[in-house]
Structures are given as C-alpha cells and as structure tokens.
Amino acid sequence: MLNSILEGEIDAHLDEDERRMGNRKNGKGSKVMKTSAGNIEINTPRDRLGSFEPEIVKKRETIMAQSLEDKIIGLYSIGTSLRDISSHIKETYDTDISAATLSSITDKVIPLVKEWQQRPLESLYCIVWLDAMYYKVKEEGRTQTRCVYNILGINKNGKKDVLGMYVSQSEGANFWLGVITDLKQRGVEDILIACIDNLKGFDEAIRTIYPQTEVQTCVVHQIRNSIKYVASKDQKEFMTDLKPVYKADNESQALDQLAALKTKWGKKYPMVIGSWENNWPKLSTYFKFPENIRKLIYTNNTIEGYHRQIRKVTKNKGVFTSDMSLLKLIYLATERIQQKWTMPLSNWCITASQLKIIFAERMKTDL
C-alpha cells in the first residue's frame, strides 16, 4: 500500500511543468521502516532533479506510525528508561530503535513544554502553594544540583492546576521574585492566599507583586526545622508540648501555649523557641480562617502530594542529561497527574462561600 501511494505521489509531482524542465523518474531506493507491526521494507521512487518530497513517508524518516511514537512517549512519561523502552519495543514489535532515536522522539515534547510554560493563566487563584524539588543534572561534564520551582494553584472553581515549573541552580527569594513576576505577566491578577516554606525573603517577594495576598509559612516545615535542634531524648515530650500551639482554636490560645512552651523549654532550647517567636507573624496567618481553610493552608501537604507523584516517575533517573530533559519528564508526568484532577476539592462550595465573605469583591464566583 505504501509503495503504491509513493508511486502515486511521484506521478503527481512529475506534472507537465516538471517534465518540461527535463525531470523524470530516476529509479528507486529502499529503506526499512520501523512500525508498530514490526519492520517493513519500502521502495521510495526518485526523480532526476531531486525535487520530489514524498508526504506519506518523508525523506530520512525511518519510523512509521504515530501510534509507535505515542507508545514511546507514554513509556517515557512514567519514568521508563530509554534502554528499557528500547527493549520493550524490541520484544513487542520486533523493532530495534536506538537510544539516540528514542531521545529525538521524546524531544518532540519540547515545543509543548515551552508552550505550556508560557500559556495564559486565570486572573484569580484562591490558594497557591509554592515549593521546590532538587535534582542532579549533567552540565559540561560535571554533575550539578538543579532546583525545580513548582507552583500549584486552586482556581475559583476549586480545581487544582500546576501553574508553572522553573529550573534554577539554587532556591532563593530573588529567583522566586522572577517566578512570581512571570505569573503576573501570564495573567494572574490576584492570589488570595499563598502557602510557602520558610525561605528568607520569600513572603516579601510575593507581596512585592501581590501586596494584598495573605502569606502562610508551612507549619510542618517549622516543626521539622525545630526538632533538628532538640535532643533525641527530649523530642517526644517537646512535640507533645508543641502540638497545642499549632492546634489551638485561635491565635490567642496559641500564644498562651507558646508562652507555656517557652517557660518550660526556653532556657534549654532558646534558639528553637526564638525561631517560633520570630516567625510567628508568618506562621499564624491560618488562624484568621475557618477550620476547613486552615487544614488546606497551614502545611504544604497539597503540593508535597504532587511532588510525591512526580518522584515516583523520576526516582530511577540518577542524573539528567540537561535541564530540558528534566523538564520534559516532569511535564509529561504532570500531564498524566492532572488528568485525574477533574473534580473540585472536597466541600469546595462551603470553602468558596467562606472565601467570598472574607475577601469580598476579590473573590468573584458564580455562587
């Protein structure tokens, strides 16, 4: 069938104008095509002037059938190595595909990654989590650490969406400022609540672009950082005394519990207690909100859940060959993850109503 189509294509190409210029058929070449049904050999007709460009099987094309490419990209998106993909294709279709060819196929995702990174965003996000992941990338023969900044948002309809991912050599407030500026340029006019880790200058970077945004520092990050400086023999008791601070019903009760914690542990662990006191304005934002909103914002659990799913895909990759190879895989994994995000968050109608009351005109919904 392919040979017949190719013959029809060259006959159509060699019209009167071509023949008037002296162009004629000039024999045939043969090549082996890799398809989802195995390898096949086809005969490609040639013309004397070399102006014939076949459409059904293009010049230098050796892989036929979009379905095979889709399978390769699908396997790659779940973290399968190029070597394992090659073995799978060989076993399933009796077709040999080199690692270089597989890499060129997955590179077809690059324009999609760039388009996705630049896509317009909604004007309002109710809650946004910002956090980073770390990977190893080979650059100029040396292995370097890369920081992937991820932003996960909840829109006014209660649905999750990964707003963007950015790669840098390290995590820092200056880079985050550039990231947040990019959100603004892509159409995000307002963020009601931003949830972050305890990176110095992070909250200031957010308020530079979104001055009305309520910023909540992750309480779990604060707890983890605190427990590092508590002796192992005291950790269980210290955590028991710390829990009433962040589990209090309101900020007044939380401050009373923090004072009691300081009375008991302040002399032994002044740096830990001092950290809670110094960071309290950023840690206590969630006390302004009802219980169901508090549960969403007092930790970064929502974005860390997304990160866990990404790590399931990337865990077998020791070192990435480039920043783009890292972004390709995270993008493909994200696309698979987001296919499951079809429903709003649980009890979103109640949450949206509460946000509407708290933020008034900033929270415009169809409720």
In a domain, 367, yes or no: no
Strands 214-217 and 124-139: unpaired
Alpha helix locations (H) across the chain? Answer: 2-13, 16-20, 66-77, 82-93, 99-106, 110-117, 173-185, 202-209, 219-227, 232-246, 251-265, 270-283, 291-297, 301-314, 323-338, 348-359
Residue-wise pLDDT for 118-176, tens only, equals 999 999 999 999 998 999 998 888 999 998 989 999 999 999 999 999 988 766 777 88
User: What is the SS3 assignment for 141?
Assistant: coil
Is 307 domain-assigned? Answer: yes
Domain final residue pick, 20, 35, 64: 64
Please tell me whether residues 212 and 252 are part of one structural domain. Answer: yes
Residue 242 lies in a domain: yes
- Looking at the structure of the chain, the number of domains it has is 3
Cα–Cα distance measured from residue 361 to residue 167, given in angstroms and rounded to the nearest whole number: 35
Which pLDDT tens digit goes with each residue over 315-333?
888 889 889 989 999 999 9
Residue numbers of the chain with a pLDDT score lower than 70: 1, 5, 36-37, 56, 63-68, 92-95, 170-171, 365-367
Kindly state whether residues 104 and 86 are assigned to the same domain: yes
Retrieve residue 1's tokens. 């069938």
Same domain, 94 and 217: no
In a domain, 21, yes or no: yes
* pLDDT tens sequence across 266-287: 999 999 999 999 999 999 999 9
101 within some domain: yes
Domain match, 257 and 203 both: yes
Place of tokens 């409720």: 367
110-117 and 323-338 helices, crossing angle to 10°: 70
Which one, of 197, 130, 190, lies nearest residue 163 by Cα?
130
User: Domain for residue 253, yes or no?
Assistant: yes
pTM for this prediction = 0.78
Please tell me the predicted confidence (pLDDT) of residue 103. 78
Q: What per-residue confidence (pLDDT) applies to 367?
A: 45
Q: Are strands 124-139 and 190-196 parallel, antiparallel or unpaired?
A: parallel
Q: Is residue 8 part of a domain?
A: yes
pLDDT for the residue 265 = 96
Q: Are residues 98 and 161 in the same domain?
A: no
Which one-letter DSSP state was computed for residue 55?
Answer: S
Residue 49 near residue 21, CB atoms below 8 Å:
yes
Q: What pLDDT is recorded for position 8?
A: 78
- Determine contact, residues 117/128, Cβ cutoff 8 Å: no
59 lies in the same domain as 73 = no
Question: Are residues 200 and 316 located together in one domain of the fold?
Answer: yes
pLDDT on residue 36: 62
- Measured CA to CA, the distance from residue 62 to residue 59 in angstroms comes to 9
Query: Do 18 and 74 reside in the same domain of the chain?
Result: no
Domain span at residue 86?
A: 67-118
Give the amino acid at 190: D
Say whether both 221 and 193 belong to one domain. Answer: yes
Together in a domain, 49 and 153: no
Task: Please report whether residue 160 resides in a domain.
Answer: yes
**Same domain (yes/no): 44, 154:** no
- Mark whether 252 and 181 lie in a shared domain: yes
